[in-house]
Amino acid sequence: MSEMIAEISGERLTLDEYVRDFNERFWSPGNTGGWKLERRQTFRQPESASWSAFAEGDWERALQLIEDRRPEMRDYYRKIAEHGFEVHRLRVIEEPLSPYLIWELNSLRLRAEFGDWIRVLDADRLAALEEGGPLPELFVIGPDTVYEVLYDEDGIAVGATRSVGRSQAKKAIRFIRSMYEQGERLADFYDREVAGLRPPGAM
């Protein structure tokens, strides 16, 4: 694993503490932007109606519920623009795509349409960085806050480790940006590799 990532340490937050802290910092006037690294290929998101429909095998409903979020996403990214910052996300992928990733890429496509700057990168490109294990799930907020989001064995979020400090945040942004710049625009990848795909067993 990258030495930069290995240096991240900080305060352990419960899920509720993480969500509350994240929202306060994300919408703070001092937020200069967000950089997210997504590495895991499977998560469980029971709080999402669309994910629940996907997990139950109802693919058409899952897609419709994503589409139903269009007004919500429009308002969300309008609010981000009004606050004067942007969110960049690197989504690492392994092929063949996991059923979860097929679902998530449909969801991310809507976010990208409204203002999330999303790129994808094949995990094979990260082999040298992952000799000691897979990269963590990271979210950098503003000039000084890094979260390593933590999950249980089933892929359900359970909290985060928060590191606060401008030096660490700059290193984390530089690290994510270096991979982001190697990635492909989500829209291009989606049109070529994802459009029309259905997870195995989906109705």
Q: Which tens digit of pLDDT belongs to each residue from 121-144?
A: 999 999 999 999 999 999 999 999
Q: What is the mean pLDDT of residues 26-41?
A: 97
If DSSP codes are grouped into helix, strand and coil, which group holds residue 111? helix
Quick one: tokens of 13? 């937050």
CATH no. for residue 10?
A: 3.30.870.10
> Is 202 contained in some domain?
no
Residues paired with residue 159 on neighbouring β-strands, in sequence order: 14, 150
Q: What is the pTM of this model?
A: 0.94
CA 122/CA 91 separation, integer angstroms: 9
Q: How many domains does the chain have?
A: 1
Strands 137-141 and 34-38: antiparallel
> Is 203 contained in some domain?
no
Structural domain containing residue 60: 3-194
> Is 107 contained in some domain?
yes
Asked whether the beta carbons of 194 and 93 are under 8 A apart, the reply is no
> Is 145 contained in some domain?
yes
Asked whether the beta carbons of 13 and 157 are under 8 A apart, the reply is no
pLDDT of 8 over the 90 cut: no
Q: What is the mean pLDDT of residues 58-71?
A: 98
pLDDT tens digits for 71-94? 999 999 999 999 999 999 999 999
> Is 201 contained in some domain?
no
What mean pLDDT value characterizes the chain?
A: 95
The dihedral formed by the CA atoms of 13, 16, 21 and 26, expressed in degrees to the nearest 10: 130
Which pLDDT score is estimated for 2? 52
> Is 169 contained in some domain?
yes
Confidence band of 201 (pLDDT split at 50, 70, 90): confident
> Is 200 contained in some domain?
no
> Is 73 contained in some domain?
yes
